[in-house]
Amino acid sequence: MKHNLVDMRIKQLFHELRQGDERHTPSFDRVLKAASARAGPAGLSLRVAVAAAMLILVGGFVFILLKPSSLSTETENSESSPPIVKLPYPQLEPSPGEPLARSIERAPALEAIRRELTRPARHKRPAARSHQPAMLISEWQSPTDFLLRTPGEHLLKTVPRVSESLVEIKPSIPD
């Protein structure tokens, strides 16, 4: 019972508070006018932001459109380009009269390995790819292939012909 009376009193006090607040409420038009004045520059900045975003989007779209076309141009160019250049490979077959050790020394791959081994150690940077002409995989040859070859190997891999093996004997006795 007592609680109900107190609750009633609380409600009455809230009601009085509300009446007091309503007397001090600024007019709707004034608040709305102030709100519109505040919204003006913000709206402008919003429009500028939207325009900038649109510009960026259009720029990105144009970039995406142009990029594949440039790639396709490159492909077309490559198709019409001359055949792939063959890289010179070391001739490891020892020429007659030249020792094998010398022919090995001349091999550029071996030279590169030697350079690599003798170079002082340092932090390696990711090297930019050299723009060497492409080579067919069927023509590729291992740079260390020469190590498997032995002198006189051709004698084992080829069949001698009879005419080549015959010793030409000149008759000592003249006819």
Q: Which residues bind another protein (CB under 8 A)?
A: 3, 5-7, 9-11, 13-26, 28, 31-32, 34-36, 38-39, 42-43
Q: Which two tokens stand for residue 104?
A: 């090995």
Fill in the amino acid letter for 163.
S
Burial track 81-114 (b if 16+ CB lie within 10 A, e otherwise): eeeeeeeeebeeebeeeeeeeebeeebeebeeee
Distances (CA, A) of 128 to 67, 87, 124: 22, 20, 12
Q: Which is nearer to another protein, 42 or 167 (CB)?
A: 42
Q: How far apart are CA 117 and CA 29, in angstroms?
A: 87
DSSP string, 87-137: PP----SPPTTS-HHHHHHH-HHHHHHHHHHHSPP-PPP-PPPP-PPP--G
Which of 105, 86, 94 is closest to 150 using CA atoms?
Answer: 94
Q: Which is nearer to another protein, 30 or 125 (CB)?
A: 30
Q: Which is nearer to another protein, 43 or 60 (CB)?
A: 43
